[in-house]
Structure 1
Amino acid sequence: MFKSMKIPRKLGLSFLAICASAAVVMIVFFLNITMISTTTDGNNLSQSIHARSIALETAILRQNSQLRGYLVTADKSYLKSYYEGRDEYDKTSVELENLLPRPRERDLLLQSRTETLAWRKNWGDRLIERVKAGQREAAEEEVRNAGKAVLVSAAVLPLRDIRDAEVALIEQNSARQEGAIATARVTLIVGAIGLIGIAITLAMLLSRSIARPVAELTRTMGELAAGRNDIAVPDAERRDELGDMARAVIVFRDAAIAKQAAEAETARSDAAQRMVVEAVSTHLSELADGNLTAEIEREFPGSYATVKTNFNAAITSLRTLIASVTEATATIHTGSNEIADASEDLARRTEANAASLEETSAAVAQMDERLKATATAATQTVDRANGAIETVSKGRDVAEGAVQAMNRVSESAKGIDSVIEGLDKIAFQTRVLAMNAAVEAGRAGEAGRGFAVVADLVSALAMRAEEQAGQAREQLTATQTDIVDAVTMVQKVDAALANISGDVGEVHALLGRIAEDNRAQSSTIGEVSTAIGTMDHATQQNAAMVEQTSAAARNLASEVTGLAEQAKRFNVGHVAKRMAAPAHGDRFAGPVRSLPPAAIPALVRPAASPDEWQPF
């Protein structure tokens, strides 16, 4: 069936088979690239949602911790951080609501927002106002009595559900990415092998069905022109243009045989022979010069009329044959040029696709670098969190040392109180002794007046010592009270530091998971970059194969041109279709439209040498 087709139909079907195979490979490859791009966008959205949910949880915990710090210390710096956490929560909540694509996650976010606003109204903002109004101890007592009611777990748990859902989506998208990459890799390998096999098969079929028969027919015509009339003409049974040419050559051969028979017949009659020989020789001379319009007009006598009829029929058949050969060679030449030009267009498009793949590979490499930088930053943040945990631990140690020091001061104060009590007793006894001395001086009369003055002074001094001891005892009692309050405050600071340590530990764990997710995503992007590089290399090899197909079509056009040059030696008496070689740089109007120059980016890599495509 293939052998009986016309040559343009054979060439068209061959080109259509190559284009269809390449189109199937490109469509499948495009679908897989689209799948990879879609899943990558989904992962980016999930990661953004995951990060903002973590930021919301951090903002909630920050408000809770800063509220407790303000309740303990009444330091306004805690209020500044509390309001910053509140503003950050409100802003990030709006951003996250705009990003969430699923109603269930929006409901979870609204639940978290409702619980957060309720916590602010019932606890955060209300307790801050009470502390500002001077009711700090009452606010602290209310928090201690509230138990779990003051916690922010109800606002945090919906955010964790959102994070868990996004982590599951990231895992699903990663699995889809891996499947798309595997499918693209298999499609590329199978498509490349299929295109190579189709190209080799079509080249062998076209060479066997067109080029080889044309060469054999050309050799047969040369032998017939040399005078050999006993040759066998091949491919006369074919139904294409080559079969028409072979049957015309058979007519030419029969005409030559008829010529020989006519010459034998003229040998039996001298006069008729000379006349017939002269006429036939003259026309054959014109025929040898390539004039296929040299029909015999002169009347032949007797049986020689058949020679005239056969000669004229042979001339007519040969003229028709040469005209058909000329038209067929023009058609073959045009078809081969179209195949060559279309193959060159396909090669340029393949090179353009390779350039796009290379740019895609560079973009994926940049994504990989950014993900690695993000993982590095998360790791550094984890290190900073470790430092913060260590600092908080040291602060707790310092607070514990302060409590112990306060306890030692309290014990010392008790010793000082004992000393003051002893001094008070000494002062009392001294005053008693002074009174006794005054009594004795009164009994002595004038002799004891000076001693009485001294006794009065000692009594006054003892009373003053008692007063100073009483003031020292009151001051010491106030100091002991302050020490007890200070110990209580330091213990509260230690409890706040313990809460901060727990919150920083949770942040540390979250950042560790973020860094691990970024490293996994970076690994996936690296595999995608490797796959795209492999596709780029295979596309370049496909371009080289198409260029070789174009070279084969040019060689076929050259062979047909040689056949057409031989056919031009004959004058067929009318204007035949001439084979016009396309001017240099002309484009053919074939089934494939050329790309505009702006659609073909310059390739980054240098042009490959022929040795690099030797495997083809």
Structure 2
Amino acid sequence: MLEMINNWRLEKKLVVAFTVIGLLMAGVAGAGIYVMSELGAIATRHVERGVAGTETLGRLMSHLREHRIIVISQLTPTNDGDRQKYVDRYAANKEAIKKAVADYEPLAGEFLPELKAIDADIAKLEDVNEQVFKLTLSQGMAVALPYSKSEGKDASSTVLKQAEALIALQQKRSTAANDAGQAFASKAFWAVLILSAMGLLALAAIWKLIVKTVSSPLTDVSKATSVLAAGGTAEVPHRNRADELGEVAKAVELFRVAAVERAEADRVAAEAQRIVTSTLRDGLSSLSQGDLTAQIKADYPADYAELKTNFNEALSSLRGLIGSVSESAIAIRTGSGEIAQASEDLARRTEANAASLEETSAAVTQMDGRLKATADAANRTVVRADGAISTVEGGRTIADEAVQAMARVADGAKGIDSVIEGLDKIAFQTRVLAMNAAVEAGRAGEAGRGFAVVADLVSALAMRSEEEAARARDQLTATQTDIVSAVEMVQKVDGALANISGDVAEVHSLLGQMAADNQAQSTAISQISVAIGTMDQSTQQNAAMVEQTSAAARNLTSEVATLAEQAAKFDVGAAAAPRSFRPAAPQPRTKSAGYTSPVKPLPVSISAQAEDDWASF
């Protein structure tokens, strides 16, 4: 193999050598460009289809839950203005759901069938919700509420479960994309490293081959020529080679044979040989030390002009290749540095989003606690209202008993009136009898005088009895009038107690509804808090994965910098020297501004979360 290479022309040797070097450098540059392109594409897909997709689906879940809250809340409006507010909120939330679905459609990819299924179920949910609104308006809460708890709850639960399943698929896809990016970055790193090592080994092998096939034979021929030029005798080596060195060796041998006849020609040839060999030796010596700018500037004889041209062109080609390698390494290092910087910026933004989500979760938890406290207070008020209703009912019972007792007193008064009337009649008859007795005593004369006195006394007593009976009748009449007034007053009190009982019952119903609504809102906010916590955890995981990508990009930058330093050992001159490059130092991680929650923290006993299931709502 080496014998065949020795027989190649010097031009062919240099062309083959630099062609191999060019192919290796082109492979390294192509691999670097491909790696940069793929890493950029992976990062773009991760941001667009990972973070953006998760955020859009989370927004869709929030609007779906808000839909359910609006439908339940509109069942108990106090007036037409409140009902219209719920209708307007429902229409706005409906448009927000459509926008979330439309925003996620370009990001869905292979999840487009699942998104279409969710969209179809959302349409069914809209039909059910509109039916609830119609029932509320036409037949009231008594009909709309059971329909909402059955059909509305089932439709809402179906959509929410499908949305949660799609979020899980989205997170799996984001994780898979990140894993694929990390695997590709690792493979690309080793591929570039292997190609770089192969390039350096190829350069060393080519250099050694050039030294062995060109530089060393030239040195041997130069030594033989020097001996012959000094008038000595020497065996000219490499005469059997078919390249330029073989021709030179053969020419030297001819010079040695014809030394006497061609002394002058030998002198001229020796001088030319000296110039050629010395300049070539200097050039190759500089080349062996890595100086690719050491071109041959001396004037060569016409026979060696081609050798000078070939040497200088080969040196220029090698200089261009080394410069291209340096430029490619700089480009790769710059790109990887930018990727690392972008990944760090993305990590900081992701951490800031995670902090905001955490604060939002705390605020929602406090809202949940306040709603639960309000619900508890409403429940206690309902209990007090029950006690008030019982008290009013007891008062009505006592009033009924008082009316009955007064009726009995009135009946007794009527009996007393009849007794008084009987006494009055007896007194009248007694007075008549006394008058008759007085008449009879007058007739009796002196003998009836005493009887007449008694008759007068009896008559006076009868008159007094009539007067007392009249007074008793007047007093009884006044008493009966007072009893009738008292009965009317007690009946009025009973009517007032009945009105109070009805009002307290209505207050009891309203408070019960308020307690139920507050409990439902508390349950919904608890689920929202859980969802926000899940989003916070996913955002933290995304931040960790972005930091890993940034670390991989920095490692790639370090390895490419090593390749550039190896290529920089070759001196390619000021015109072709690669521009200086300093790896971009990663910016320090600045602590994001803290988020101040507008909600005042609740006591621990109130802010404890209840692990309620959203399906129960």
Give the shorter-chain TM-score range.
Answer: 0.5 to 0.7
Report Cα offsets for 1:464-501 as digits up to 9, x if no partner.
Answer: 32133134335434644654565466456546645654
- Asked whether the equivalents of residues 251 and 318 of structure 1 are also in contact (C-alpha less than 8 Å), the reply is no
Q: How many Å separate the matches in 1 of 2:578 and 2:146?
A: 72
- Asked whether the equivalents of residues 64 and 160 of structure 2 are also in contact (C-alpha less than 8 Å), the reply is no
- Name the structure 2 match of 1:381: 381
1:31 to 41, 44, 56: 56
| Alignment RMSD (CA, Å) | 4.1
Q: How many Å separate the matches in 1 of 2:285 and 2:87?
A: 92
Alignment of 1:261-410 (within 5 A): 261-263=217-219, 266=222, 269-270=225-226, 278-298=278-298, 308-410=308-410
- Asked whether the equivalents of residues 8 and 332 of structure 1 are also in contact (C-alpha less than 8 Å), the reply is yes
- Asked whether the equivalents of residues 376 and 515 of structure 1 are also in contact (C-alpha less than 8 Å), the reply is yes
Q: How many Å separate the matches in 1 of 2:306 and 2:153?
A: 88
Higher deviation after alignment, 429-438 or 294-303: 294-303
Report Cα offsets for 1:301-355 as digits up to 9, x if no partner.
Answer: 7997776555434322221111111111110111011000110111111112212
Structure 2 unpaired stretches of 5+: 1-26, 89-135, 230-269, 598-617
SS of corresponding position for 1:101: helix
Deviation at 1:438, TM superposition (A): 1.9
Q: Which amino acid aligns with 1:602?
A: G
Q: How many Å separate the matches in 2 of 1:260 and 1:536?
A: 70
- Asked whether the equivalents of residues 341 and 550 of structure 1 are also in contact (C-alpha less than 8 Å), the reply is yes
SS of corresponding position for 1:602: coil
| 1:13 matches 2:14 | no
Deviation at 1:190, TM superposition (A): 3.3
Q: 1:255 to 1:21 in 2, by over 3 A?
A: same
- Name the structure 1 match of 2:126: none
| 1:554 matches 2:554 | yes
| 1:464 matches 2:464 | yes
- Asked whether the equivalents of residues 337 and 554 of structure 1 are also in contact (C-alpha less than 8 Å), the reply is yes
Deviation at 1:405, TM superposition (A): 1.3
Normalization by structure 2: what TM-score? 0.66
- Name the structure 2 match of 1:602: 594
- Asked whether the equivalents of residues 283 and 295 of structure 2 are also in contact (C-alpha less than 8 Å), the reply is yes
SS of corresponding position for 2:569: coil
Aligned length: 479
Q: 1:520 to 1:268 in 2, by over 3 A?
A: same
Q: How many Å separate the matches in 2 of 1:508 and 1:169?
A: 23
Higher deviation after alignment, 282-291 or 530-539: 282-291
- Name the structure 1 match of 2:581: 580
Q: How many Å separate the matches in 2 of 1:20 and 1:380?
A: 55
- Asked whether the equivalents of residues 435 and 455 of structure 1 are also in contact (C-alpha less than 8 Å), the reply is yes
Q: How many Å separate the matches in 2 of 1:290 and 1:253?
A: 15
- Name the structure 2 match of 1:259: 215
Q: How many Å separate the matches in 1 of 2:357 and 2:39?
A: 28
Structure 1 unpaired stretches of 5+: 54-92, 103-156, 230-249, 588-593, 606-616
- Asked whether the equivalents of residues 375 and 514 of structure 2 are also in contact (C-alpha less than 8 Å), the reply is yes
- Name the structure 1 match of 2:87: 101
Q: How many Å separate the matches in 2 of 1:394 and 1:327?
A: 100
Q: 1:166 to 1:507 in 2, by over 3 A?
A: same
Deviation at 1:567, TM superposition (A): 2.0
Q: Which amino acid aligns with 2:36?
A: L
- Name the structure 2 match of 1:58: none
Q: How many Å separate the matches in 1 of 2:405 and 2:376?
A: 43
Report Cα offsets for 1:506-543 as digits up to 9, x if no partner.
Answer: 55345334423332332222122112101101111111
For the pair shown, the structure with the greater C-alpha radius of gyration is 2
- Asked whether the equivalents of residues 388 and 504 of structure 2 are also in contact (C-alpha less than 8 Å), the reply is yes
Alignment of 1:163-562 (within 5 A): 182=161, 185-215=164-194, 217-218=196-197, 221=200, 225=204, 229=205, 254=210, 257-263=213-219, 266=222, 269-270=225-226, 278-298=278-298, 308-446=308-446, 448-449=448-449, 452-477=452-477, 479-480=479-480, 483=483, 486-487=486-487, 490=490, 494=494, 497-498=497-498, 501=501, 504-505=504-505, 507-562=507-562
- Asked whether the equivalents of residues 333 and 583 of structure 2 are also in contact (C-alpha less than 8 Å), the reply is no
Q: How many Å separate the matches in 2 of 1:174 and 1:3?
A: 61
Report Cα offsets for 1:423-442 as digits up to 9, x if no partner.
Answer: 32442343244224423432
Deviation at 1:422, TM superposition (A): 4.2
Q: How many Å separate the matches in 2 of 1:171 and 1:18?
A: 46
Deviation at 1:256, TM superposition (A): 6.1
Query: Alignment identity in percent?
Result: 49
Deviation at 1:15, TM superposition (A): 2.4
Q: 1:278 to 1:339 in 2, by over 3 A?
A: same
Deviation at 1:395, TM superposition (A): 1.4
Q: How many Å separate the matches in 2 of 1:29 and 1:172?
A: 29
Q: Which amino acid aligns with 2:280?
A: V
Q: How many Å separate the matches in 1 of 2:382 and 2:501?
A: 14
Q: 1:354 to 1:168 in 2, by over 3 A?
A: farther
Q: How many Å separate the matches in 2 of 1:478 and 1:30?
A: 87
Q: Which amino acid aligns with 2:87?
A: P
Q: How many Å separate the matches in 1 of 2:384 and 2:528?
A: 33
Normalization by structure 1: what TM-score? 0.66
Q: 1:375 to 1:177 in 2, by over 3 A?
A: farther
Q: 1:560 to 1:372 in 2, by over 3 A?
A: same
Q: 1:387 to 1:445 in 2, by over 3 A?
A: same
Q: 1:326 to 1:167 in 2, by over 3 A?
A: farther
Deviation at 1:447, TM superposition (A): 5.7
Q: Which amino acid aligns with 1:24?
A: R
Q: 1:12 to 1:165 in 2, by over 3 A?
A: farther
Report Cα offsets for 1:560-613 as digits up to 9, x if no partner.
Answer: 1122222222221233331422565779xxxxxx9xx99x543799xxxxxxxx
Deviation at 1:374, TM superposition (A): 3.1
SS of corresponding position for 1:577: coil
Deviation at 1:169, TM superposition (A): 6.9
